[in-house]
Chains A and B, each alone.
Chain A
């Protein structure tokens, strides 16, 4: 069901735009591109190239980024037993965009890394921030209580964002690009972006699913996890690193996009329960669907203006989240 909904969201998101590409024609074009079927007569060549090189990479990237963010959001919420935590609150997102921004501003290039330069730096930035958050929390609080991590993560996140803003003012020639980053965008993405992110998502999801039972146990708190037989400090760090990896790679292509990683896991938990064997893949799909639709709105509401997708997710996400989270307590 959810998979079908995901495909539908992708199809709609590919269909709508300055030119509409009906789903029937999408299928024809796909058949032509993927399976070497005869070039459909009824479809204009320009439509094919719009779909194949603009709409499709964009839709797929949005889907994957939303999925990656949501899956890592679900993990961080469980590991910290805080339904309000996410990669964003831990500073992973801002760390990753800072890493990516440094590459852009310094016009850095490292041989061999090639197209992997940005994801590598994004991942490193996100990971360094979260490791710093954990290490610092451990220094001031020996038991590394979860709320210490969340509080310090939020402080770090704001701090890193400030550095990012300074950077964008100083490097004024990149200002526009960096600003877009801070609000997130899927414009101008190519297939290789999709490829890298898809590989990262697959790897991350498999690694997370390996620990699905540990995630269930960790959501009851570290002491109970230890008592049941999960080496909580070690498994927790491992899971946070994988979550940082997923977030880092997606952020460095798209910029920071909030709320999806809070909303999607929440919806999933309410519909499918809390067992991570389901929560992880479903959060991925739900996050992908939400992000596809958010991007669709971002490029159509004020067309031909392209809104930053982060603004759209926050605009719709904030009230939706309020309803989801506080509405539950009402009944």
Chain B
């Protein structure tokens, strides 16, 4: 169980365009159910593209199997009831309230035509708002919010989808320190938690995230994937990845010396 990628290529541009340049090149790896996987790498290394492919919002060549089903063959409802995806920052043109926005995450759980939100939906939305510290802003419209608040709204909506897999693209880049650490704690608790599928079997929550903040990633990840120019440079647990030369290659600088220097500031 989990997600298995085999020789996956992907890129942007029209699917008919033969010479589109691939952003992801020949990725083969597996993500085990119940893990927290963080993707590291410099700008343009293909982290976000990888998340898009996993969320089924971008075409790919090769094979991605989600619990033995090929991703490309799943219909939208089916896929999105398994995998939720929080994209990077987005513009907001219309003035929905915070509550309405987070309730949209319950879309697949609601009945199609007149289905009004049930008590379960309301409770779940309230929980997600609580978790992101937005309970007091329920009635605020999106246009009134700051960048960090908006990001928390979208986080709440993603968690309201109640899927066993969650993909997060830079979930903390607009957040204050307080919310960053709260989120890290919440993600740690959430991932690995058991849930019962409709067919009665039990499965664990799986989290896949792209983080700018290496320290945050190290703090929550079971497994790290380091990307460079669309390929996987290394993957493994913390101690495997923390080797100086891997991060040096990935970011083109001496990361560990830099981090240690920063620590010295705190140590006086």
Does chain A have a CB within 8 A of B19?
no
| A-side contacts of B76, CB under 8 Å | 226, 229-231
CA distance in complex: A30, B55 (Å): 59
Give every chain A residue within 8 A of B86 (Cβ-Cβ).
227
| Contact call B87/A216, Cβ cutoff below 8 A | no
Contact (Cβ within 8 A) B80 A228: yes
Q: Report yes or no: B94 in contact with A219, Cβ–Cβ below 8 A.
A: yes
Which of B2-10, B99-107, B220-228, B253-261 has 4 or more CB atoms under 8 Å from chain A? B99-107
What are the residues of chain B within 8 A of A188 when measuring CB–CB?
Answer: none
Q: Which of A9-17, A78-86, A192-200, A247-255 participates in binding chain B?
A: A78-86
Q: Would you call B46 an interface residue if the criterion is a C-beta within 8 Å of the partner chain's C-beta atoms?
A: no
As a 0/1 sequence over residues 208 to 224 of chain A, the CB contacts with chain B under 8 angstroms (1 = contact) are 00100100110111011
Interface size on B, residues (CB 8 A): 40
Q: Is the CB of B90 within 8 A of A274?
A: no
Given contacts A142-B12, A142-B14, A226-B80, contact A269 B56 (CB under 8 A): no
Let me know if B73 is at the binding interface, CB within 8 A: no
**B69 contacts chain A at the CB level, 8 A cutoff:** no
Determine which of A82, A217, A274 lies in contact with B107 in the assembled complex, contact meaning CB atoms within 8 Å. Answer: A217
CB contacts between A and B, total, < 8 Å: 88
Scoring B84, B86, B104, B113 by chain A CB atoms within 10 A of each residue's CB, the highest score goes to B104
Instruction: Confirm or deny: A31 has a beta carbon within 8 angstroms of a beta carbon on chain B.
Output: no
Q: Which residues of A contact B17 (CB under 8 A)?
A: 142
Q: Are A226 and B90 in contact (CB under 8 A)?
A: no
Please name all residues of chain B whose beta carbon is closer than 8 Å to the beta carbon of A78 when the two chains form the complex.
94
Chain B residue with Cβ nearest A221: B90
* A227 and B95 within 8 A (CB): no
Q: State whether B104 touches A226 (Cβ < 8 A).
A: no
Taking CB as reference atom, which chain B residue is nearest A138? Answer: B14
Q: How many residues of A contact B (CB 8 A)?
A: 28
Interface assignment of A275: CB less than 8 Å from any CB of chain B: yes
Whether B1 is near chain A, meaning CB under 8 Å from some CB there, is no
The yes or no answer to A106 lying at the interface (CB within 8 A) is no
Residues of A within 8 A of B81 (CB): 229
The answer to whether A226 and B93 touch across the interface, beta carbons within 8 angstroms, is no
Interface presence of B268 (CB below 8 A):
no
Interchain Cβ contacts under 8 Å between A and B, 15 examples: A83-B94, A221-B91, A224-B87, A224-B90, A226-B55, A226-B56, A226-B57, A226-B76, A226-B80, A228-B80, A229-B161, A231-B76, A269-B94, A273-B95, A273-B97
B residues apposed to A, CB below 8 Å: 12-15, 17, 52, 55-57, 75-77, 79-81, 84-87, 90-97, 100-101, 104-105, 107-108, 110, 113, 141, 154, 157-158, 161
List 8 additional contacts besides A139-B14, A226-B57; criterion CB under 8 Å.
A223-B90, A224-B87, A224-B90, A226-B76, A227-B57, A228-B161, A230-B107, A273-B100
Which A residues are closer than 8 A to B by beta carbons?
A: 78, 81-83, 138-139, 141-143, 210, 213, 216-217, 219-221, 223-224, 226-231, 269, 273-275
- In the A-B complex, the 5 residue pairs with the closest CB atoms: A142-B14, A229-B80, A227-B85, A274-B94, A231-B76
